[in-house]
Amino acid sequence: MTRWFAKNVAAERLLLLEWDGATLAALSRLADDGTMPNMAHLFRHSARRKLRWAGVGSSTAAWTTLRSGCGPAEHGVWDDSYLDHRRGWVRPVDPAAIATPMLPGLLRARDGGAVSQWISDSAAAARIWARKLTDRDTLEGGIRQTKKLLDELTAEVRRIATATPWRLFEVRVHTVAALQHRVWRLLGVDAEMDGASTWTATSRQAFVALDHMLGDLAELADRQNAALALVSPYGFVRAREKITLAELFRRRGLFETAGGIVAAEHRLRRRIWRSVRPLVSRKDGPAATGVHYPIRALLPADWRRSRAVALHGDHAALVYLNTPGRFGTRVLATAGARRQALADTIAAIGEARHPVSGEPLFSEVIGTADTYGCDPLERSWPDVVGVPAPGFQTRHKPDHKRQLLRPDPSLAGTQGGDGFLLLCGRGIQPEENPDAELTDVAPLLMQLLPGE
């Protein structure tokens, strides 16, 4: 890794804006056409780098890689959730439990008393854009709530930044991704945009609000003698179909859906869990806000015949072999049976093709034990990870129509393509720089904030 600013360039502070899912090409078009004048100013005065999309999947996995400078092999995060096989649960990843230090921890370890701040709109943004866009009123209501949310977030950043000491202030804005999932095709930034959309101007008002936030926080950074960085670990692309993993594996003899008494038992477990889940979530606190399910209530699998299951994840095929150590079953009781199931699972993902176009549905398939030289069971990792081709998402629940690909009209865009890093401050030259990996970002920012 090489520097991308002069050796003597250093910042007293860094205000790091983390825009989840922001796309360089889209922001450039919105800046050029006058929708985002503050963004246009930042483009003119910043050093820029594309961050190569590594197909890292979920938001949690991508941000963990970017903020730690380590890949999944080190930090162990593959999704927003993970399988706790010892307790029989799929649980949300708790950021506080990740052993690999992130930027704040790296600063503290190096400088002792270095103070960091972090604030996010993630939960509120997800709630605003959880609803499908059924009419213009729903869209306009979401935009109004978004503007209010961003104004409140900006005011809170100002309050904290002026009242408390800090060297690094991270502002996570999930609004960009949450919004784009619904309106990507309406923004006029995609070459395959829906033709006659009367909603484009309304949709762009959210980016006007984001631009106001950017201008206000750039002014704050200047007053506080701080460098300003804007970063996203991945861009967005037009959403295509969702890949039904249960159907993919059923066709290869790897998965069987439960029937009869077992299916009825699954439905009963699921109803019971839905009724008690709010109580468990309150008890477990913030870490319980994601996917949180006992395995037997999550997937209607025939555990006596299924050899491989996918239990969680929208952005990757995260596959677990039905071994005695993982699920207490005897389906794959011998080493030979486990090797065969692993080979069949890798083949099923690697050979999956679109039934119309014939294109591969996955861009990469990883057997974690061989690739990383570890025991996936010991680390609570999937046995196989499949990275979908750009635009595709995954779903783990069986499809009653046995469809391999399932369209989702409410999903306009999804993550895919390169992220970016823009950095401006005293002594930093406004220029385009070579592409970088997500793992390069944390070391680069640590260089910018020298030890005290």
Indicate if the pLDDT at residue 288 is higher than 50.
no
pLDDT band at 291 (very low <50, low <70, confident <90, very high): low
pTM across the whole model:
0.91
**Amino acid 189: pLDDT:** 76
Indicate if the pLDDT at residue 190 is higher than 80.
no
pLDDT band at 284 (very low <50, low <70, confident <90, very high): very low
pLDDT single digits (tens) 92-117: 998 888 989 999 999 999 888 778 99
**Amino acid 192: pLDDT:** 58
Indicate if the pLDDT at residue 309 is higher than 90.
yes
**Amino acid 400: pLDDT:** 86
Indicate if the pLDDT at residue 433 is higher than 80.
yes
- When pLDDT is averaged across residues 364-384 and rounded to a whole number, the result is 96
pLDDT single digits (tens) 59-92: 999 999 999 999 999 999 999 999 999 998 999 9
Domains (range + CATH), the chain: 13-239+412-448 (3.40.720.10), 242-257+301-406 (3.30.1360)
pLDDT band at 9 (very low <50, low <70, confident <90, very high): confident
Under 8 Å CB-to-CB from 46, ≥6 apart: which residues? 230, 422, 423, 424, 428, 430
- When mean pLDDT is compared across 259-268, 359-368, 412-421, the lowest value belongs to 259-268
Indicate if the pLDDT at residue 194 is higher than 80.
no
Indicate if the pLDDT at residue 186 is higher than 90.
no
pLDDT single digits (tens) 119-159: 999 889 999 998 888 888 999 999 999 999 999 999 999 99
**Amino acid 41: pLDDT:** 97
- When pLDDT is averaged across residues 218-238 and rounded to a whole number, the result is 95
**Amino acid 285: pLDDT:** 45
